[in-house]
Amino acid sequence: MATAVTTTDFSKAPINAKLSTEQKLKLLTEMVRIRRFETESLRQYNGGKIGGFLHLYNGQESVAVGCVSLMGDDDHVITAYRDHGHALAVGMTMNECMAELYGKATGCSKGKGGSMHFFAPDKNYWGGHGIVAGQTPLGLGLGYALKYKGLKGAAMCFMGDGAVNQGCFYESLNIASLFEVPVVYIIENNGYSMGTSLARSSAFKSCLAERAEGFGMAWGKCNGTDIYEVRANVQEALARAHIESKPTLLEVSTYRYYGHSVADANHTGGYRQKDEIEFYKQNHDPIQHYKRRLIEEGVLTEEQYEQIDEAAKSEAAAAAQFADESPVAGEETITQDVYFEVDRQTEAGRTGKHFFND
Amino acid sequence: MATAVTTTDFSKAPINAKLSTEQKLKLLTEMVRIRRFETESLRQYNGGKIGGFLHLYNGQESVAVGCVSLMGDDDHVITAYRDHGHALAVGMTMNECMAELYGKATGCSKGKGGSMHFFAPDKNYWGGHGIVAGQTPLGLGLGYALKYKGLKGAAMCFMGDGAVNQGCFYESLNIASLFEVPVVYIIENNGYSMGTSLARSSAFKSCLAERAEGFGMAWGKCNGTDIYEVRANVQEALARAHIESKPTLLEVSTYRYYGHSVADANHTGGYRQKDEIEFYKQNHDPIQHYKRRLIEEGVLTEEQYEQIDEAAKSEAAAAAQFADESPVAGEETITQDVYFEVDRQTEAGRTGKHFFND
Amino acid sequence: MPLIEYRDALNQAFDEEMTRDENVVLMGEEVAEYNGAYKVTKGLWKKWGSKRVVDTPISEAGFIGMGVGASMLGIRPVMELMFWSFAAVAWDQIINNAAQVRYMSGGLINCPIVIRGPANGGTNVGATHSHNHESFLANIPGLKVVCPATAYDAKGLMKTAIRDNDPVMFMENTLLYGEKWEVPEEEYLIPLGKADIKREGTDITLIAHGRAALTACTAADILAAEHNISAEVIDLRSIRPLDEDAILESVSKTHRAIYIEEAKPFCGVGAQISSMIMEKIFDELDAPVLRITSIDAPAIYSPELEKRQLPRPLDVVEKVLSIC
Amino acid sequence: MPLIEYRDALNQAFDEEMTRDENVVLMGEEVAEYNGAYKVTKGLWKKWGSKRVVDTPISEAGFIGMGVGASMLGIRPVMELMFWSFAAVAWDQIINNAAQVRYMSGGLINCPIVIRGPANGGTNVGATHSHNHESFLANIPGLKVVCPATAYDAKGLMKTAIRDNDPVMFMENTLLYGEKWEVPEEEYLIPLGKADIKREGTDITLIAHGRAALTACTAADILAAEHNISAEVIDLRSIRPLDEDAILESVSKTHRAIYIEEAKPFCGVGAQISSMIMEKIFDELDAPVLRITSIDAPAIYSPELEKRQLPRPLDVVEKVLSIC
Ligand SMILES: Cc1ncc(C[n+]2csc(CCOP(=O)(O)OP(=O)(O)O)c2C)c(N)n1
Ligand SMILES: Cc1ncc(C[n+]2csc(CCOP(=O)(O)OP(=O)(O)O)c2C)c(N)n1
Ligand SMILES: [Mg+2]
Ligand SMILES: [Mg+2]
């Protein structure tokens, strides 16, 4: 059941054709905001302000923004550790995100989660998960809950091309197909899992998404350069979820400009050549592609673009300042947010000992 | 890459055509021995001589016997908990198997493994594994070791139709295909995982084995009624492993006459009807089918068959007596066979404390 | 009060909580049409239908993770592991997702899930099927761990576990499913974190969880009848949260204690309780706190030998006599 | 003696053992062409090629199980988990197959595998990536568990682990990879099951494993310099097998002990050691054996707070002063 949107000019796809100028500019703005946020966080990481890992989303912006732009009230999102793009796309503020990277009390997870663990359930955003593919059964569960509650929504569950080799993903595909769960799995295929190219990690037929075929599930593959193409394909999958309550596995070709994480020094000249990165930047950059497109469409000027970019840059810089000036939470907060019942001091939370340091 | 042996009269397949009368009678005899062993163990279980679980192989005999009959010196076998058939087929004695069921010191695992955990590494038989699909990465490892050592062998790894929904199986398929590991995965599809029919446990396209397609792996499906058909299909997969060092996923349709385990009271009139069992016994019994075939071929008479059957019956009864008369191991053996180094009292085994009861 | 089987007490708890809250859903392998491998969910699929009682494929990581995800959106899944031993294939979903999603989200997400099933040896099903995971799971902050020893406890604790807003790991015992205890007809709840004094005594405190609590009771009876020793038996019922007060109070009275459990010794629950007692009331102790556990080897199949591998009442009696 | 980084000491161990035995094969994610996520296997793929140093897909259950299966046929795989935390997705393969196949086969099958990688918090990678599994794994009879604290120990223990015929769980530490220690140029082996007295002392025994042993050493230095307290530091090095004699001898001399570890408290290694000391030499104790662990919550990301979550030398000093 390979599915493919047949138009090649994806601006003609109904979901794109009906976009207002404002909506189009918003798509562009969101992609630019993500890129500027990432670049700023890289700078701050290098300045020693941020700990742990930092997995940047630069180059992949069309995927998160394209998908999230299609979300209705009952559509939900969950992803892996490369989660800043999705977070900003669903409407989390740069301030709370940057403060989380700084490990500050004002961070979206109060400094408890860090880069890999952003969450905003009020915006239907369920993280941010560090264990490769560990979020794939959770995404299934979100879809399951929606169906259980009789809501016409879907869960979009993102993952990398390396993540497809974790077993729980196939357990999820089978259950999704068997139970007709409205979940859309989206493989952001950026060609590498850390230093391992797709060809060295996965055996497949025409593409990774085709593995869904054996589970009787709809699947498709599209290119992430053009946000219109992403939207057209994802829209179809969402409709399948909303209308038929059926899952889809979609693979989106994309590329990351930086290393796997900022600790990955091998990514230029090691497992991939500098030319390759340049080639993608020149020919497949989703922001530049969409910018050109919107200028062609006559809804954007170079000056406007500069304004958008400048605004995003300042917003990111301000977020860094906000994070820097925010306080670290007190030591006593280390044991908060472990148990609901303890935090609320319910009767359950007050009965028996929950923590064992003394 | 679906593969199919094109002959429909599988006796004509070269691997079967070249069988001597003696070899044919051996195939029949092995199937009959398994059935008699199982029936005897059921009787002893009901008599309270055997504990825990007992998963009988009655109805599926052609699979283990057909596959094992093709093994060369460097071919290996591993399976799940429904493991008596494979054990007898590789040449384990009824005595050591029955004694294991009795939990006696003379059992193949000294009474430590029980029904689900028979092993005979000297006969290239690696068990007997209780966790559903837990043996599938082990089977991969056997194939890996063969290739590493430069041997022209294959690992045959058996599993049930319910086991295909454990994630580690897909991790194994991907690695097998990517690394070109000489492993043959064989799904013994008996239509049910405990009380759940295939349709209620698995979403698939034409069959379970087709799931291999998405991993770029050869696959096939055949019927287990005719042991010639099993042999012809498995032979092809073994050749692929031996010659090309490539894996195969084979699905064999078969049927179990008893419940999932002897504790399963629901299996007639519950999740399946008595008629269904009768239908299979009448039309798909691998022993009856092969018996008729050999009579047609003129290499077997009814009397000979009776003799084979009687001999198997007596052998099983004698095994029960052997097991009954065998001693239970002493209490001190409980902590033996945990660590190689301790058992051998090597320097490593004598350094530091390994057990913590006192 | 009617005498009820442990399995039926659980069954009543499910039924009552399903009536009370439409978001409670039972899931697991064979729980619906087959009535459960151990018949704990008997009749519930027939009564409640396929939406509320759901058979899953043999995909523990997949369906436990699905339950965790659904619980984040407010469903209250009660997930059966046919054996707790099979948690090994769903370990990541339990210790990372169920246990930690609240923390990593700074308290934004709750995970009101119950994961349940039998967790015990003693049924000759071999090493792969006889794990006791309670010490591992109770080590993980974010999880709660409950091990009821009687039908009464099982029902009261299960109802509380289902209403609890944190992930509760609920460990039953196949050897107890068919045993009967008095269970009141009117509704009751038992809080997590409250131990039960199953025998009162003055000379020594026997502390235990799960089926070992019954072993301790039998031992206490023998000690009273044959050795004139009055043993107090504390059944923890819930390991995390833990009723430390009950333990400390009792040992402060008896000055001697033994922990009995069916798990393996190294870093077991007994090690935790024993070292806690020493830390807190060292001066009250007239003898070292001792431990009785399963014999330290994988679970043996042999029915005769497995009986010996697990703690028996007479093992307890002997150990008590060594320090009393 | 040359000063060598902990990671390079391990690297030497691999190289030497690969030279010695053609069945030794290194496997894991990014261990070959990328030289290892933490560069522990640097240069080995280049030297030994793709047969001996193998990159795997992100399929821990699949490749760890593959290693177990290969080891049954005599291969000696040294498997890297990029983080020991990821063992959660391979748990079943480890606790059932690696640990128990020998037992269930009545001793017919051996599993000479090493599973290795970093197992620690303290690097701000959050709760999912900072698990300490050593207490769980050491609970399982059939497994051996090793936690070296220095480059010297890491090399000597790794060589022994590779030659050992049982499955060895080898736990390294990302915070130590870049630290240097003296490592002899000539070959040496360190047996599993032998603790190392890292400081001699007379007033109290500090027992620890892994990086916490270094914390204990720093604390001992402070105690000597500032409080005139002479602390003996015992680094277990190997948790199972365990050098009980070393512990009991030392505590019989000092009459006081504290266990320090970076794991969570409930049922930790400290609980085991503390209760063991009480059981065996209760009368030698002048004070309760105490424990210092990570603060009992999932690992926090916040770099400032995570420093506080793990035991610091001053925490040890303070605890020592409370009983000395
Ligand atoms: C179970 C598990 N194994 C390994 C890792 C370490 N790891 C983190 S990301 C990663 C690569 C994943 O690549 P991919 O899925 O393609 O996602 P991308 O980073 O390209 O977005 C690895 C190996 C992990 N976090 N979890
Ligand atoms: C991980 C795991 N989950 C559940 C079980 C319990 N269980 C044992 S066999 C079985 C059914 C397996 O069916 P199938 O794979 O079709 O094999 P068959 O019994 O038909 O030979 C189940 C659910 C188990 N042993 N391991
Ligand atoms: Mg990738
Ligand atoms: Mg089956």
* Cα D286 to Cα C97: distance, rounded to the nearest angstrom: 43
* Cα B337 to Cα B358: distance, rounded to the nearest angstrom: 19
Phi, psi of B197, deg, nearest 5: -70, 160
Q: Which of D88, D275, D287 minimises the CB distance to C271?
A: D275
- Nearest atom in ligand 2 to the alpha carbon of residue B188 is 21
Please choose, from the candidates D240, D235, D113, the residue with its C-alpha nearest in 3D space to the C-alpha of residue D176.
D235
Q: Is D131 a catalytic residue?
A: no
Whether C191 maps to a domain, the answer reads: no
Q: Which of C100, C298, C300 minimises the CB distance to D127?
A: C100
Same domain, residue pair D84 and D136? yes
Residues of D in contact with A104 (CB under 8 A): 302
Judge if the beta carbon of residue C89 lies within 6 A of ligand 2: yes
* Cα B318 to Cα A64: distance, rounded to the nearest angstrom: 69
pLDDT of B6 strictly over 60: no
Whether D191 maps to a domain, the answer reads: no
E strands in chain A: 76-78, 155-160, 183-189, 192-193, 196-197, 218-223, 248-253
Residue A9's CB is within 10 A of a number of other CB atoms, namely 10
- Would you state the structure tokens that stand for residue D287, as one six-digit string? 């004070």
Instruction: Report how far ligand 3's centroid is from the alpha carbon of A272 (Å).
Output: 13
Per-residue pLDDT tens over the stretch C242-256: 999 999 999 999 999
Q: Do B178 and A216 touch (CB under 8 A)?
A: no
Per-residue pLDDT tens over the stretch A156-202: 999 999 999 999 999 999 999 999 999 999 999 999 999 999 999 99
Per-residue pLDDT tens over the stretch A288-336: 999 999 999 999 999 999 999 999 999 999 999 999 999 999 999 999 9
pLDDT of B7 strictly over 60: no
Closest CA in chain B for residue A165: B171
A171 in reach of chain B (CB within 8 A): yes
* Cα B20 to Cα B65: distance, rounded to the nearest angstrom: 16
Q: Do D139 and C269 touch (CB under 8 A)?
A: no
Q: Which of B100, B195, B333 minimises the CB distance to C33?
A: B195
Q: What's the mean pLDDT in C11-35?
A: 98
Closest CA in chain B for residue C307: B331
Whether C122 maps to a domain, the answer reads: yes
Same domain, residue pair C228 and C297? yes
Length of chain B: 358
Q: What's the mean pLDDT in C23-43?
A: 98
DSSP character for C88?
A: G
Tally of structural domains, chain D: 2
Using DSSP, state whether A99 is helix, strand or coil: helix
Per-residue pLDDT tens over the stretch C166-214: 999 999 999 999 999 999 999 999 999 999 999 999 999 999 999 999 9
The CATH number assigned to the domain holding C287 equals 3.40.50.920
* Cα A146 to Cα D66: distance, rounded to the nearest angstrom: 38
Boundary residue ending a domain (C182, C212, C238) = C182
Average pLDDT over chain B, rounded to whole? 97
Same domain, residue pair C27 and C174? yes
Q: Which of the residues B73, B144, B146, B166 would you substitute to probe the D interface, choosing the one with the greatest number of D C-beta atoms within 10 Å?
A: B144
Instruction: Answer yes or no: are the C-beta atoms of A166 and A175 closer than 8 Å.
Output: no
Burial of B6 (0-12, 13-18, 19+ CB in 10 A): exposed
* Cα D108 to Cα B119: distance, rounded to the nearest angstrom: 8
Whether D187 maps to a domain, the answer reads: no
Instruction: Answer yes or no: are the C-beta atoms of A286 and A61 closer than 8 Å.
Output: yes
Judge if the beta carbon of residue C82 lies within 6 A of ligand 2: yes
Instruction: Answer yes or no: are the C-beta atoms of B35 and B58 closer than 8 Å.
Output: yes
Q: Do C265 and B113 touch (CB under 8 A)?
A: no
Q: Which residues pair with residue C55 across a beta bridge? A: C28
Q: Do B203 and A177 touch (CB under 8 A)?
A: yes
Containing structural domain, residue C256: 196-323
Q: Which of the residues D242, D275, D289, D306 would you substitute to probe the C interface, choosing the one with the greatest number of C C-beta atoms within 10 Å?
A: D275
Same domain, residue pair C13 and C162? yes
Boundary residue ending a domain (D151, D182, D213) = D182
The preferred substitution site among B157, B260, B262, B264 for testing ligand 2, maximizing ligand atoms within 8 Å of CB, is: B260
Q: Do C63 and A142 touch (CB under 8 A)?
A: no
pLDDT of A337 strictly over 80: yes
Whether C82 maps to a domain, the answer reads: yes
> Which residues in B265-279 are b (16+ Cβ under 10 Å) and which e?
ebbbeebbeeeebee
The preferred substitution site among A193, A198, A254 for testing ligand 1, maximizing ligand atoms within 8 Å of CB, is: A193
Q: Is D306 a catalytic residue?
A: no
Nearest CA to ligand 2 atom 18: B160
Same domain, residue pair D156 and D52? yes
Nearest listed ligand to the Cα of residue A60: 1
Nearest listed ligand to the Cα of residue A191: 3
pLDDT of B3 strictly over 70: no
Closest CA–CA distance from residue C280 to any residue of chain A (Å):
9
Per-residue pLDDT tens over the stretch A233-286: 999 999 999 999 999 999 999 999 999 999 898 888 899 999 999 999 999 999
Whether D188 maps to a domain, the answer reads: no
- Would you state the structure tokens that stand for residue D176, as one six-digit string? 């130590």
Same domain, residue pair C12 and C83? yes
Q: What's the mean pLDDT in B195-203?
A: 98
Judge if the beta carbon of residue B38 lies within 6 A of ligand 2: no
Same domain, residue pair D174 and D276? no
Instruction: Answer yes or no: are the C-beta atoms of A186 and A178 closer than 8 Å.
Output: no
Same domain, residue pair D178 and D216? no
- Tell me if the bond preceding C241 is cis, omega within 30° of 0: yes
CA B17 to chain centre: 24
pLDDT of residue A184: 98
The CATH number assigned to the domain holding C120 equals 3.40.50.970
Q: Do A171 and B178 touch (CB under 8 A)?
A: no
Same domain, residue pair D123 and D250? no
Q: How many CB pairs under 8 A join A and D?
A: 130
Whether C190 maps to a domain, the answer reads: no
Length of chain A: 358
Q: Which of the residues B201, B206, B211 would you substitute to probe the A interface, choosing the one with the greatest number of A C-beta atoms within 10 Å?
A: B211
Instruction: Answer yes or no: are the C-beta atoms of C192 and C177 closer than 8 Å.
Output: no
pLDDT of residue A7: 55
D5, D17, D129, D133: the catalytic one is: D129
Residues of B in contact with C298 (CB under 8 A): 112, 338
Residue C279's CB is within 10 A of a number of other CB atoms, namely 16
Same domain, residue pair D43 and D21? yes
**Residue A344 CB contacts under 8 Å (≥ 6 apart), including other chains:** none
- Nearest atom in ligand 2 to the alpha carbon of residue C129 is 25
Instruction: Report how far ligand 1's centroid is from the alpha carbon of D280 (Å).
Output: 46
Burial of C321 (0-12, 13-18, 19+ CB in 10 A): exposed
Average pLDDT over chain A, rounded to whole? 97
Q: Percentage of residues in chain C with pLDDT exceeding 90?
A: 100
pLDDT of residue B268: 87
Same domain, residue pair C75 and C130? yes
* Cα C308 to Cα A283: distance, rounded to the nearest angstrom: 71
Using DSSP, state whether B119 is helix, strand or coil: coil
**Residue D283 CB contacts under 8 Å (≥ 6 apart), including other chains:** none
Q: What's the mean pLDDT in A111-140?
A: 98
Q: What's the mean pLDDT in B166-181?
A: 98
Which residues have CB atoms below 5 A from the ion given as ligand 3? Answer: A 160-161, 190, 193
A245 in reach of chain B (CB within 8 A): no
* Cα C207 to Cα D85: distance, rounded to the nearest angstrom: 32
Give pLDDT tens digits along chain D (324 positions). Answer: 899 999 999 999 999 999 999 999 999 999 999 999 999 999 999 999 999 999 999 999 999 999 999 999 999 999 999 999 999 999 999 999 999 999 999 999 999 999 999 999 999 999 999 999 999 999 999 999 999 999 999 999 999 999 999 999 999 999 999 999 999 999 999 999 999 999 999 999 999 999 999 999 999 999 999 999 999 999 999 999 999 999 999 999 999 999 999 999 999 999 999 999 999 999 999 999 999 999 999 999 999 999 999 999 999 999 999 999
Chains near D (3 or more Cβ pairs under 8 Å): A, B, C
Nearest listed ligand to the Cα of residue D63: 1
Query: What ipTM goes with this model?
Result: 0.98
Boundary residue ending a domain (D154, D182, D210) = D182
Judge if the beta carbon of residue B161 lies within 6 A of ligand 2: yes
Whether D189 maps to a domain, the answer reads: no
Please choose, from the candidates C193, C207, C206, the residue with its C-alpha nearest in 3D space to the C-alpha of residue C242.
C193
* Cα C208 to Cα C216: distance, rounded to the nearest angstrom: 7
Same domain, residue pair D16 and D145? yes
Closest CA in chain A for residue D87: A131
Residues of D in contact with C100 (CB under 8 A): 127-128, 298
- Give the H/E segment covering residue D181: strand D180-182
Burial of A14 (0-12, 13-18, 19+ CB in 10 A): exposed
Burial of B22 (0-12, 13-18, 19+ CB in 10 A): exposed
Phi, psi of A184, deg, nearest 5: -115, 110
pLDDT of A205 strictly over 60: yes
Q: Which amino acid is at A118?
A: F
Residue B309's CB is within 10 A of a number of other CB atoms, namely 18
* Cα D116 to Cα B215: distance, rounded to the nearest angstrom: 29
Length of chain D: 324
* Cα A310 to Cα A305: distance, rounded to the nearest angstrom: 8
Ligand 1 pocket, CB under 6 A: A 82, 130-132, 160-163, 190, 192-194, 260; D 29, 58, 60, 82, 86, 89
Instruction: Answer yes or no: are the C-beta atoms of B190 and B254 closer than 8 Å.
Output: yes
Q: What's the mean pLDDT in C274-301?
A: 98
pLDDT of residue B4: 52
D5, D60, D80, D306: the catalytic one is: D60
pLDDT of A4 strictly over 90: no
Going along chain B from its start, the domains and CATH numbers come out as 10-325 (3.40.50.970)
C5, C29, C60, C172: the catalytic one is: C60
